[in-house]
Structure 1
């Protein structure tokens, strides 16, 4: 099996996992938005709090094995969840 063919097989599997990761992030953000919306309904003001986060670099090396790549994705998702949770604790309406 050529190196290029192995890369295509690995890349196809990673694309599926990336899509699942993006779906997980979308679901997490929608839950956070629903929770924030419930909190803000009771205390409505004209003020919008926006949190700005400069997250660490989120690049995953393509040379990793599939299990290592999944572990790196999981680590990144945990860190992003922590950032969203901190913004929610600070009662921010948006996270950029």
Structure 2
């Protein structure tokens, strides 16, 4: 009996954490600077007062997505050893 290798890709939602510092005269000033960014992803901020320190994925927050949450597109795909999709979890089209 043979053994055949496959792999699965799974789309998930997860939280990520970015550590950064802000150069300012006081904590209140630093907080005002952060607030002025309007909750934009800090990795996209261009500001000379920003020092980007570290990024971490938070694996305990990872949750599988359903195709409904992905616009009907698959969120699980199984591939054979040469990279061909052999099955996915997208709903069958009528």
Which of the five TM-score ranges fits, normalised by the shorter chain? under 0.3
TM-score, with structure 1 as normaliser = 0.19
Determine which structure has more spread, i.e. the larger CA radius of gyration: 2
**More helix by proportion, 1 or 2?**
1
**More strand by proportion, 1 or 2?**
2
TM-score, with structure 2 as normaliser = 0.20
